[in-house]
Structure 1
């Protein structure tokens, strides 16, 4: 069997499972090549472990519906994002020598504003995009053009959510301010935030979930006080449209 060259980057297993290949190492006793990888499904809280795959196993083919296919297929169109680079580097792995990591200019990526279906999702969305939204805000102010948002309405919504998060952290959510700063202002991973705060990872995960719940409650209270529904509309028709259709 001819062995193919394996690069650092994203691959998809024959059954659709995405993985991120970090690098190829050699077994010190046998000299056998070993592929170091991690799950690339990116359920962030469950994506800290690394896995080893024998090089020969990685390069082999498997039969799927009577057809031989490569066990792992490289995803050349998927760029390596900055978050993945940071996590891998923090764990002690260097950048690949054959090809440098490709950084995505995330400020310019289109930002979907207020597309959450629940207030918990809404709170999580604001927190996880906080750092990048601040960068978008600064660029928009500097360059006098919309960057990462489609129009003035989306820009104003982003600014409103940023301001509300900042004000909430100074008042009702002040107990979570340090966690928020480590995770979402500085962009540390769960593990790195736990180290910085001298807590174990489980405590940080539970505190983060509690932050989302508390923030979600504030977002709902804001909507009720303002008489504005800021979640994704459940239907394209409002109540009057529905009543008209039923007549």
Structure 2
């Protein structure tokens, strides 16, 4: 039986675990096909790592509740976003042929502020958008109009997070200041940051994950002290309200 083709993109494992397939490579000794992938649960702390799956194992079926199902199912409706492609490209993998990107930093692009579901995601979001948010802030001050943010509330939230990050790096997160400057102020990739800091890439990846964890803890402590939650809130409906909406 011929094996199915495997494409770069998002897949879901039979147990619901999402992954991102980066590429299919050949074992130089056996010529066996190997699927290179990474965890697509972007709230996880270890999603910087890559994993290998034998092609035959990737394509096989498993039995779930007495029913034979594909082990991995392609999520054709989920588009490959620019951030994901940029991440794997900086890690040395080529872009998916069907999804070419031109990387243009654009401070005019609409910025979704505080849309994270966990504090780890929130910390990562502030760090990864720091450089561009700083440029947006300076443009808004110069031109006296909102650029890249939808309204005054979003602008104030962006400013608050920028100030909190800067203050944290001067105090509690000072040990991570050099890494932050290379990765997020200067915008260097992990590989280039490792070269600049004369460290191997693994060390930088672990330090970066540690930075996210430490910053996430500070963000949570800030919310607890302020008595607010700056994470995105799931909307909950009362069963009676749902019935009323359907009428």
TM-score, structure 2 as length reference: 0.64
Distance 1:16 1:162, change over 3 A: same
SS at match of 1:78: coil
Kindly provide the CA deviation profile for residues 185-240 of structure 1, in whole angstroms up to 9, marking residues without a partner as x.
Answer: 24445565344312356765676577678878998999999999988999999999
Relative to structure 2, which stretch is displaced further, 28-37 or 70-79? 28-37
2:34·2:54 contact (CA, 8 Å) conserved in 1?
yes
**Which ranges of structure 2 fall in alignment gaps of 5 or more residues?**
none
1:26·1:32 contact (CA, 8 Å) conserved in 2?
yes
Kindly provide the CA deviation profile for residues 13-52 of structure 1, in whole angstroms up to 9, marking residues without a partner as x.
Answer: 1111111111222334444332222222235752344333
**Which ranges of structure 1 fall in alignment gaps of 5 or more residues?**
none
2:105·2:132 contact (CA, 8 Å) conserved in 1?
no
TM-score, structure 1 as length reference: 0.64
Relative to structure 2, which stretch is displaced further, 180-189 or 231-240? 231-240
Distance 1:154 1:237, change over 3 A: farther
RMSD, aligned CA:
6.6
Which structure has the larger Rg? 1
- Residue 3 of structure 1 deviates from its aligned partner by 2.6
Kindly provide the CA deviation profile for residues 116-171 of structure 1, in whole angstroms up to 9, marking residues without a partner as x.
Answer: 89999876653343134235446767997656534212212312432454466578
Measured in 2, the distance between the counterparts of 1:3 and 1:245 equals: 47
**Aligned pairs (5 A) from 1:207-218:** none
Kindly provide the CA deviation profile for residues 47-75 of structure 1, in whole angstroms up to 9, marking residues without a partner as x.
Answer: 34433323232222222222222221112
